[in-house]
Amino acid sequence: MRKVLQIALSVLVASSLAYGSEQFSMSDADRALYEELLDNNPADMMLASGSEHLDALGGAASLAKYLEQSEDSLASYLAGFPRYIDKYKSVVSIDQMLQAFMHDSGAKAYTLKSEEMFNMSSYVKSLGNEQAINIDINANKYMQEAYALGKEVFNTRRGGRGLSCYNCHNSNVIGAVLRTQPLPDISAKGNASAATWPAYRMTKSKLATLQKRFQGCMENALLAVIPLGSKEMTALEVYFTHEAKGAPIAIPGLKR
């Protein structure tokens, strides 16, 4: 399995380079470290911790039952998040679903920004490794609305600088530099970055979810940070994940 993930990550990196994604911003030294860590991603230990957290709740079998899935269908189901879940009456990401799972199991739910939740949600998403992202934004009106909102968040200018996500991440700015880093084009159709988040960030020496990475980007651009798990943040994840639809999941990712 580990070898398969290394191959999948290598393919995704090559694809990302073609679109000027995050890997494009690596220095030679960073790239050398990246290649080394592909064989020993520090996040593996964090996912092992996440596995223990899930085991305390009954493991994957218990989660599958909670989601009304068979153990065999669980991986494919997880590859469709964020998704609308009727019992919550809302579109949720994996970590929000896990909060509800913990609460409904009689356990105290981890906060979305906690290390425990990062580890457990990353492990749970990794259960879908090698599955193609199958998010369905046309499944119902709630998913359609979430996608539309996420696209709006991505493209709306805000803050004192009047910047949007798109301003810094489109094909017209590839090669431009912000905070000493070349800007990647994450607006490109087929961009597969969402398939490799949660990921270990070499510059932070920690595991981060996709929504947490969004927050870091907002901070760097001096924008008001959208809260984790908010309607807008979840919608942004829906939009970003839809752009990666069909890409194989390979968690944990490895980022600069």
Does residue 189 have a pLDDT over 80? no
Beta bridge partners of 207: 200
Q: How far apart are CA 256 and CA 196, in angstroms?
A: 13
Mean of the per-residue pLDDT values of the chain? 85
Long-range contacts, 52-58 (Cβ 8 Å, 24+): 53/110, 53/116, 53/119, 53/120, 53/123, 54/120, 54/123, 54/124, 56/107, 57/101, 57/102, 57/105, 57/107, 58/105
In the chain, alpha helices (H): 2-18, 28-38, 43-55, 59-66, 74-78, 94-104, 115-126, 141-155, 165-168, 210-220, 231-243
pLDDT of residue 184: 63
Specify the pLDDT at position 174: 67
179 annotated ligand-binding residue: no
The reply to whether 169 sits in an annotated binding site is yes
How many Cα atoms occupy the beta-carbon half-sphere of 97 within 13 Å? 25
| 53 is known to lie in a ligand binding site | no
pLDDT at 7 > cutoff 50: no
DSSP state of 58: T
Distances (CA, A) of 184 to 48, 67, 73, 209: 31, 36, 35, 18
Distance in angstroms (rounded) separating the CA atoms of residues 182 and 175: 5
DSSP 195: G
Q: Where are the domains of the chain?
A: 2-255
Q: What is the pLDDT of residue 32?
A: 73
Identity at 229, one-letter amino acid code:
G
Q: Give the pLDDT confidence of 75-118 residue by residue, as tens digits.
A: 999 999 999 999 999 999 999 999 999 999 999 999 999 999 99
Residue 223, amino acid: L
Residue 217 designated active-site: yes
**54 Cβ neighbours under 8 A, 6+ residues apart:** 60, 63, 120, 123, 124
At 117-156, the pLDDT tens digits run 999 999 999 999 999 999 999 999 999 999 999 999 999 9
SS3 181: strand
User: Phi and psi of 27, rounded to 5°?
Assistant: -80, 170
Q: What percent of the chain has pLDDT above 90?
A: 59
Q: Is 103 annotated as a binding residue?
A: no
Fold of 2-255: Cytochrome Bc1 Complex; Chain D, domain 2 (1.10.760)
Q: Is 137 exposed, middle or buried (0-12, 13-18, 19+ CB in 10 A)?
A: buried
Catalytic residue among 17, 37, 67, 217: 217
- Report whether 177 contacts 170 (CB < 8 A): no
